[in-house]
Structure 1
Amino acid sequence: MTTIDPSLYLKNQTSSRTPSPDLGKDEFLKILMTQLQNQDPSNPMEDKEFISQMASFSSLEQTMNMANSLEKLVTNQSVSPVVQYSHMIGKNVSYQAYDQETGAKLDIETSGVIAVSQHEGDAVLELKNGEKIYAEAITQISEPNDDSPATDDSEGSE
């Protein structure tokens, strides 16, 4: 009696396959091709069904692409305020000054930005005149001039 070697017809199952929970374009096309190859010749798939499946897949793919784009947009919008306002270092900014004791409005002051920091999620600009203001308080941004009194450290100390 002849013995048949099981290694000829049984594959070694040592490697485990982990299926992906996401179906992509390639998987969809493989499934569709398998459907077409194994369909009943006496009752083939109608072209309307085929077109419907392709349209559904295209719509799904576009929705997934849009979701990825929105995720990237949200990530880009959450940039640190320090990074967002760092381009203002060296610029002159004008802002509404207030009296520290009474809270009354004073004149519009202008000073150069020397640093940008963050306080409770908001950008704080440190100015040459010693003031610290929130970025939202800025009314004007300008390039510094060498002869401009706005870059003078004595500005706003009157």
Structure 2
Amino acid sequence: MAKIDGSLYLRQQQTDRGSTNATLGKDDFMRILMTQLQNQDPLNPMQDKEFISQMTSFSSLEQMMNMSSAMEKFTQAQSMAPVVEYSSMIGREVTFQNIDSETGEPTGQEEGIVQAVSQKDGRIQLEVEDGSVVNVEQILKVSNANSDL
């Protein structure tokens, strides 16, 4: 009779799941499948249908993980799109509402030529020629910088 490895007992397994993901990944699934194949009864092996079903499940899991990874990359690429969209404002003259930093109330209007576009905390900001930073929500008017020509 074969001796059972003590590390395979459930009480020997790591029980702290607080820091790890509670879902099974494709590596976990493959380990389970390999362990099942290694420990199956040689006189009553796994049926072909069962094996094909498990391999199909593994293939589906892998495809879902690939799709999830692709969607994550797509989402990251889309987060930079607003910066590119507003980059056409560089060199344009903008009229913007000044906002008091303490009260959040409008204090007047200013004009400036946009020098740069950036994104901070999910908000698009324009840097005008005097160095001030303006959120796009504060923009009241956009015009050509040399409209007097």
TM-score by length of 2: 0.48
Alignment TM-score, normalising by the size of structure 1: 0.46
